[in-house]
Chains A and B, each alone.
Chain A
Amino acid sequence: MASIAFLGRGGQGIVFAATITAETLFNLGYYVAQLQSYGAEVRGGSVLAHIVYDNKTIENPFIEQYDLAIVLHEAGLKRWIKHLEKSKTIIVDKDLVKTRMDNMVTAPIIENVAREKLSGSENIVAVGIAMQLLLGREAIAVAKSILEKRSSPEKNIKALELGTTIALNLGINMA
């Protein structure tokens, strides 16, 4: 069993990132459970969405740590600190998140998003990072085919590929 969490600010499309990730994993044949803490948070507060996947039925999606968490929001990090402290790897945006912890790796997500004129697509960049780190190219191809059927496919696929590049440059191997 493995798990991925996306943590961000309302409006960043965190739930959408989790949805695309869950569908990718589902299409790869995994059992998947996707949960999110959303609602009023969608209007400015922090949003956490996580996915648990496995080769067999998911016994319990209410997990207390993640294999991989991608964090794009300082306040959200504080709210879920207990989970994050116990998590294996946390990737944080080097500009958006100030806190540093031993299990953290910083990534230039927003910087690259701005340079590539992909603002608003940092959520899909995060999907690219997660899929590349955990499952590699095959997952990226499946995620692409899912994004093709959604709105703004060109921008999102560029963002996904940007995520792949960022992941490869991090120099960590999780798969």
Chain B
Amino acid sequence: MARRMLLSGNEAIVYGALDAGCRFYAGYPITPSSEIMHLMAKEMPRVGGVFIQAEDELAAINMVIGASWGGLKSMTATSGPGLSLMQEGIGYAVMTETPLVIVDVMRTGPATGQATKPAQGDLMQARWGRHGDQYLVVLAAQDPQEAYDLVIEAFNIAEELRTPVILLIDEFIGHGREVVVVGKDVVIKNRRLPPPSGEWMPFDSEDPRQASPMPLLGKGYYVLVTGSTHNEYGYRDVHSFETHYRLVKRIKEKIIGNLDKMPKPIVLGKPDDAETAIVCFGSVCRSAREAFYKLRERGFRMVFVRLRTLWPLDYDHLSRILDNVEAVIVPELSLGQLIHDVREAVDTSTRVIGVNKVGGGLPIYPSEIIKVVKEACRK
């Protein structure tokens, strides 16, 4: 039943995760994500789930991996430094096709940075923080309501595609409180289980877009899970080209090939008619959208693109939207990471201009974006 609540983004994450069926949480305290852990500690035992405070982030992510193979929908939450520590485990989850959700409440960095201050500098580490060829899903929410909605989406994608999913929010969203509608028609997806009879493979699929069935432990399947290169049945093969290439390529295609299952970008304005575009993700989109409306009122021909799926990124779609514009403004609470994607999506004649501000807990204000757009249009 739908309920209207006044929630911080961190609290909304907990209610979303529990509504999605999450029944295992392991985490290590870190600002500004700790409130997720605090509320999980309170709510998870009440629904009969498991909550455990791990000894460190390495333990947390690996406990989540173990619980996911045990059959529970599992998650952890952390912030930049913790995500850095979890990276090896996330790579293992990619390689073993283990469904799980990681929420990263972004703060400034590198290192300890300003622990209580928001930032958006984890985009690249969320996508690429692991060694080797690995693909997973990265989503980003703009406010507590979307944090609730997308953590449910994150579980659905994780389970359906047997993959880790990282959901990015930031300190503004995590600590900011807003009205959130929870419990509205939530669609839940579950992992595919092995068929009762016939041939099946735990680590291969005839359709590259479909995840293999995931066997439960303790049911006599004699599951072999390994982070080493393995064949379709899980047997280690650390020598042959074919096995390795096929495995990493299949995992890549499983993620890239399912773009249509990921949350779509929100596009405002008419791309065909626009001279200038704003492309953004996360909390900064709210100032960017206000700037967009104000500029449009003043006669600027604009298009606004808010990305909700940061990886895989639909470059073709973005290219089509940005095809006619002369300048793209990319506001980010970092020195610029999404801007590289935008550059990849446009041709070299299009100007790509960052609005970059990070530190001290300051947001990017609409006026700062408006100023840059005006300057860009003057040229």
Contacts and interface: CB of A to CB of B under 8 A. Distances in A.
B175 interface: yes
A26 B363 CA distance: 24
Given A22-B6, A60-B290, A36 B366 contact: no
Contact of A35 (B116, B176, B366): B176
**What range describes how many residues of B lie at the interface?**
20 to 34
Contacts of B172: 35, 62
A64 B31 CA distance: 26
B231 interface: no
Contact of B31 (A23, A39, A59): A39
Q: Pick the most buried of A22, A23, A62: most chain B CB atoms within 10 A of its CB.
A: A62
Interface in A13-37: 19, 22-23, 26, 31-37
A60 B363 CA distance: 11
B252 interface: no
A32 B290 contact: no
A34 B178 contact: yes
B177 A19 contact: yes
Contacts of A39: 31-32, 114-117, 361
B377 to A, nearest CB: 22
Contact of A36 (B6, B175, B179, B286): B175
Contacts of A33: 176-178
Interface string B116-127: 110000000000
A26 B289 CA distance: 24
B200 interface: no
Contacts of A32: 6, 177-179
Interface in A52-109: 57-62, 64
A33 to B, nearest CB: 5
Interface residues of A, number: 21
Contacts of A175: none
A33 B286 CA distance: 12
Interface in B168-200: 172, 175-179
Contact of A26 (B31, B175, B179, B364): B179
A40 interface: yes
B287 A60 contact: yes
Interface string B277-307: 0000001001101100000000000000000
Contacts of A38: 116, 175
Contacts of B115: 39
Nearest to A53: B179
A107 to B, nearest CB: 27
Nearest to A30: B179
A159 B177 CA distance: 24
B345 to A, nearest CB: 25
Interface in B105-153: 114-117
A58 B114 CA distance: 27
A36 B116 CA distance: 11
A61 B178 contact: yes
B177 A22 contact: yes
Given A32-B178, A33-B176, 19 more contacts: A23-B6, A26-B6, A26-B179, A31-B178, A32-B6, A34-B176, A34-B177, A39-B31, A39-B32, A39-B114, A39-B361, A57-B179, A59-B289, A59-B290, A60-B286, A60-B287, A62-B172, A62-B287, A62-B366
19 contacts: A31-B178, A31-B179, A32-B177, A32-B179, A34-B177, A36-B176, A37-B361, A38-B116, A39-B116, A40-B116, A59-B289, A60-B286, A60-B287, A60-B289, A60-B290, A62-B283, A64-B365, A64-B366, A64-B367
Interface of B: 6, 31-32, 114-117, 172, 175-179, 283, 286-287, 289-290, 361, 363-367
Q: Which 4 A-B pairs have the closest CB atoms?
A: A39-B116, A62-B363, A60-B286, A34-B177
